[in-house]
Amino acid sequence: MVERKRLLALAFYNKEHFSGSDQERNMRYRIEKITPSLPEDAPEGTEVEDPYFQGTIWPEPYSFEKTDEEKKITHREDFSEEGLCALVDWMNEHHFERDDWVR
């Protein structure tokens, strides 16, 4: 089970992503802050979306970079303490079977 107390303070996510695993759920995860920006050709007055947490989960055993994109599941929440807790709850709703990573 992923626990909020095992994750880092919000300020950490301003600079880095956080990765971990939950062997009980045969799952790896990555939490990162996404800060959207507008394309250069965006009309004047277009509002920039607020930063948010993006959580990605995938079956073990491979790293984020070595796992096929179609095996990853992503979810987003507000960039806040409440959003991080909601992301933890979302991750804990999922698990992977031991052979999910095998084609």
Radius of gyration of the chain (CA): 15
Domain-embedded: residue 61: yes
The pLDDT, as a whole number, for residue 99 is 63
Domain-embedded: residue 97: no
Domain-embedded: residue 71: yes
DSSP state of 98: T
Domain-embedded: residue 102: no
Domain-embedded: residue 84: yes
Q: Each residue of 30-86: pLDDT tens digit?
A: 999 999 988 888 888 888 889 999 999 999 999 999 999 999 999 999 999 999 999
Is there a contact between 64 and 58 (Cβ–Cβ < 8 Å)? yes
The pLDDT, as a whole number, for residue 101 is 47
The pLDDT, as a whole number, for residue 102 is 45
Token digits of residue 43:
């009309």
Evaluate if residue 22 carries a pLDDT over 80.
yes
